[in-house]
Chains A and B, each alone.
Chain A
Amino acid sequence: MIILKNLTKMYRGTKAVDNLNLRIPEGTIFGFIGPNGAGKTTTIRMMTGVLRPTSGSIFIDGLDMAKEPSQVKRIIGFIPDRPFLYEKLSGTEFLRFKAGLYGLGSNGLDNEINELFELFELSEWADELIESYSHGMKQRLIIASAFIHKPKVIIVDEPMVALDPRGAKLVKDLLRESARKGSTVFMSTHTLTLAQEVCDQIAIVDRGRIIASGTPRDLEKQAGVTGDLERVFLTITGGWREREYV
């Protein structure tokens, strides 16, 4: 369960996130979509404890991020949009490091790591330095590392960046399977087909505020259009003007 209460973030007098309220039940895949600069990444950075909110609260699995950050972070698996890693570590060393940070013991860790490498088709590269990985391979490694401690909540910022179709399919299946087992997935994306395909609930955010939310069907009703999510999104965010210009 994820609860955001009156979440606000100010940057030099500008509200990047403006009084955001959300309640996401367990086992849900929640899509967070919006135009560039809408405040999606800022929200995610606050939810993962990387950034402090100006005001408001974040509760993950009943725990307050402001009061018990370490406990909250222990149950989150975070996948950022840019694959910044320690280039001088090998893939295996990175996963061991990540396991260490989350306090996992060495019992069964080798098996766990091998399974993840196999799942993400990185076994051949496990002992190579990360600096020799391609962009897509780094993204696969980051996603693998987010699952090493079996998180209850998975927070994903643009999951499909740099992934090939096989990788994209794998991630979709993994997110669905995690939700089926009871994990909550919070996913920010620009890939509207992905959101439509996997999300149980979607919120559209613009200028730091939620301007529409609900199931994909609810959003269609709110926008007064039927069809794909792109039409719904463009109607709600006013993007048709640009489309007409083109």
Chain B
Amino acid sequence: MFKLLITPRFVGFRNRLRRSEGAKRAKIVTLAVTGILFWFVLFFLVYRVLTYFASQEMFGDILARHLLDMVLLIFFSLLIFSHIITALSNLFLSQDLELYHASPATLTEVFLSRSLYTVIDSSWMLLVFGLPVMMAYGVVYHASLHYYLSLIYTFIPLMIIAAGLGVLVIMSLVRYFPAKRARDIVLFLSLVLIVTLYLVFRFLRPERLVNPDSFVSIAQYLGALKAPDSPYLPSHWATDLLWTRLTQYPESQILNHLLLWSTALAMVVLNIWTAGRIYFKGFSKAQEAKRRTRTGKRILEKMVSVLTRPLGADTASLIAKDVRTFFRDNSQWSQLLLLGALVVVYLYNFSVLPLERSPIKSVYLQNALSFLNIGLAGFVISALSARFIFPAISSEGNAIWIILSSPLSARRLLWSKYFAYLVPMLVLAELLIIYTNYLLKVTPFMMVLSSVTIFFLVFGIVALGVGLGAVYPNFKHENIAQVATSFGGMIYMITSSVFIAVVIVLEAGPVYTILAAQFRGDAITQLQWLWIVSSFIAVVILLAVAVRKPMAAGLRSLRSYEG
């Protein structure tokens, strides 16, 4: 029966691969190629870091081991979180669960088959991100075959322990809260945790570790090297095991083996025992309707209503609906926390730049940085757009029929979404650029140039988001966050990054010429003026194309949408 219960997922996956043709096959191939490229880039990066560590006589091995410990601890924590989130869906919320529970399969069989789905869904990440890191260690330390084999028998119990912990947490949560509320709690907590970890990590400035000169004494440096580690953590047992294999240090690892495998087995037993007692109660509770929630008009909604009134009843209704649904969906608005963290770290990085210690003349550096800052700010706006603007059309979800059967034209739908997102993005981009320029103390010329450039870049970035979001819509998503990480989302990020890069490249030369002439007190020649003017004309044309083309493509796609 267990084998039968896990069949649908594997057969479905096989059919998807076999029966994909044309665009779908191209999509799979593109994703595979991107994955492989990413794999190699990660391998190369870790390889470079480890080779650099290896060249440091006294601290090389300490740093490499420290890094391995940190990597495994991060993997282990991420695995637990990933299991919590996917277990909630696989064990309590999936639509096919009714079929499983209505079948003659025993509760243990249902629980184990769904747990296996959870392990697969949560652990593929480990393969993609973990393997290149571990391979790089193996290559740098000239590890024997034994090391590569030990990867298998170390990671399997580590994965089972993480899965066990994740599933236990979610079963306990759902026992006391309805599953949908538990999802909100988990999402919110994981987001707060990620933001906190990110901020703490950033403010610790880990880049100082590779520069021992910045510490007053060796003792202080070694103190800073101490990671939050504990001999009771499974990731620590795994580090010990792998490190011995890497360095071929003749130390018995039987205890660590026993610890890993016995904990994994204990987790399985504990989970089956707990599931027998509380899993079905939780699943049954998950079927109950959501509690009644009364709504009222809030200040933001009133503001939106006043601001959108001149746009006409249809557009105003659409924008008001978008604002309401956004702020009532916990998985949506809570992402604003990530946005906040991203902006804080971005600004913080500028505030700690050691400009005065640079060997390059500070005025040059400040202006060059301000110029690069346009690209970076553009990239931040792109990343935010990928999460919030690219899914704007898909966010209509299954209710898209309401719009399509209404008198609101596809053109008006697209442009309503465009203007609704353009205004906040413009404000954010200008705040970022002006404040960072203020920190950099740039010349008035650069202040004006970067503010104007980012202003127009945002028009293009938002158009690419809305337009490509309509070209690659997904109205059948279970979670809107999936849309941002889809194939279309990837295409958007690539297109948007290329667009920003080309604008920067087109402006870089002329700006350098103007700045150099200013500092040297030289006059700009006629030929140089011609080049400067044509570069800026090219930028204007590119901006126009970046707004027009994706919106037109999005419009065509919406009009020919076949459901």
A: residues with CB less than 8 A from B are 11, 45, 48-52, 69-71, 73-74, 76, 78, 80, 82, 84-86, 88-90, 93, 96-105, 127-129, 131-132, 134
Is B289 within 8 A of A132, CB to CB?
A: yes
Is B321 within 8 A of A73, CB to CB?
A: no
Starting from the known contacts A97-B318, A129-B290, 9 additional A-B residue pairs (CB-CB under 8 Å) come to A50-B563, A73-B407, A80-B401, A88-B324, A102-B314, A103-B407, A129-B295, A131-B293, A132-B289
Residue of B nearest to A85 (CB): B399
Q: In the complex, A90→B324 CA distance in Å? A: 10
Q: Which of A84, A97, A131, A132 contacts B321 (CB 8 A)?
A: A97
List 24 A-B pairs, Cβ < 8 Å: A48-B404, A49-B405, A50-B404, A50-B405, A70-B407, A70-B409, A73-B406, A73-B407, A89-B325, A90-B295, A93-B321, A97-B321, A99-B317, A100-B314, A100-B318, A100-B320, A101-B314, A101-B318, A102-B407, A105-B313, A127-B296, A128-B295, A132-B291, A132-B293
Give the number of A-B contacts (CB < 8 Å): 103
Select the residue from A74, A97, A99 with max chain B CB neighbours within 10 A: A97
Is B406 within 8 A of A102, CB to CB?
A: yes
Is B401 within 8 A of A101, CB to CB?
A: no
- Min Cβ gap A170→B in Å is 22
Q: In the complex, A48→B401 CA distance in Å? A: 9
Q: Which of A45, A49, A128 contacts B293 (CB 8 A)?
A: A128
Q: In the complex, A70→B403 CA distance in Å? A: 11
Residue of A nearest to B296 (CB): A127
Q: Inside 8 A of A74's CB, which chain B residues have their CB?
A: 407
Q: Inside 8 A of B316's CB, which chain A residues have their CB?
A: 100
B329 within 8 A of A: yes
Is B401 within 8 A of A132, CB to CB?
A: no
Residue of B nearest to A75 (CB): B407
Is B295 within 8 A of A131, CB to CB?
A: no
Is A86 within 8 A of B325, CB to CB?
A: yes
Is B290 within 8 A of A51, CB to CB?
A: no
Q: Inside 8 A of A128's CB, which chain B residues have their CB?
A: 292-295
Q: Which of B328, B329, B397, B406 contacts A101 (CB 8 A)?
A: B406
- Min Cβ gap A99→B in Å is 8
Is B325 within 8 A of A88, CB to CB?
A: yes
Q: Inside 8 A of A49's CB, which chain B residues have their CB?
A: 404-405
Q: In the complex, A85→B291 CA distance in Å? A: 18
Q: Inside 8 A of A97's CB, which chain B residues have their CB?
A: 317-318, 320-321
Q: Inside 8 A of B324's CB, which chain A residues have their CB?
A: 88-89, 93
Is B325 within 8 A of A45, CB to CB?
A: no
Q: In the complex, A160→B16 CA distance in Å? A: 35
Q: In the complex, A113→B120 CA distance in Å? A: 49
Q: Scoring B residues 547 to 563 as 1 if CB is less than 8 Å from chain A, else 0, what string do you get?
A: 00000000000011011
Select the residue from A69, A99, A101, A128 with max chain B CB neighbours within 10 A: A101
Residue of A nearest to B312 (CB): A103
The 5 closest A-B pairs by CB, nearest first: A100-B317, A84-B398, A88-B328, A101-B406, A70-B407
Q: Inside 8 A of A50's CB, which chain B residues have their CB?
A: 401, 404-405, 563
Q: Scoring B residues 324 to 339 as 1 if CB is less than 8 Å from chain A, else 0, what string do you get?
A: 1100110000000000
Select the residue from B289, B316, B562 with max chain A CB neighbours within 10 A: B562
Q: Scoring B residues 284 to 313 as 1 if CB is less than 8 Å from chain A, else 0, what string do you get?
A: 000001111111100000000000000011
Residue of A nearest to B398 (CB): A84
Q: Scoring B residues 246 to 262 as 1 if CB is less than 8 Å from chain A, else 0, what string do you get?
A: 00000000000000000
Q: In the complex, A74→B407 CA distance in Å? A: 5
B402 within 8 A of A: yes
B372 within 8 A of A: no
Q: With contacts A48-B405, A52-B560, A101-B408 known, is A86 near B321, CB below 8 A? A: yes
Q: Inside 8 A of B296's CB, which chain A residues have their CB?
A: 127
Q: In the complex, A105→B562 CA distance in Å? A: 32
Is B563 within 8 A of A51, CB to CB?
A: yes
- Min Cβ gap A102→B in Å is 6
Q: With contacts A51-B563, A103-B407 known, is A129 near B317, CB below 8 A? A: no
Q: Scoring B residues 105 to 132 as 1 if CB is less than 8 Å from chain A, else 0, what string do you get?
A: 0000000000000000000000000000
- Min Cβ gap B402→A in Å is 7
Residue of A nearest to B397 (CB): A84
Residue of B nearest to A86 (CB): B399
Is B405 within 8 A of A132, CB to CB?
A: no
Q: In the complex, A70→B325 CA distance in Å? A: 25
- Min Cβ gap A162→B in Å is 14
Is B403 within 8 A of A101, CB to CB?
A: yes
Q: In the complex, A50→B328 CA distance in Å? A: 28
Q: Inside 8 A of B409's CB, which chain A residues have their CB?
A: 69-70
Q: In the complex, A88→B523 CA distance in Å? A: 62
Q: Inside 8 A of B314's CB, which chain A residues have their CB?
A: 100-103
Residue of B nearest to A134 (CB): B289
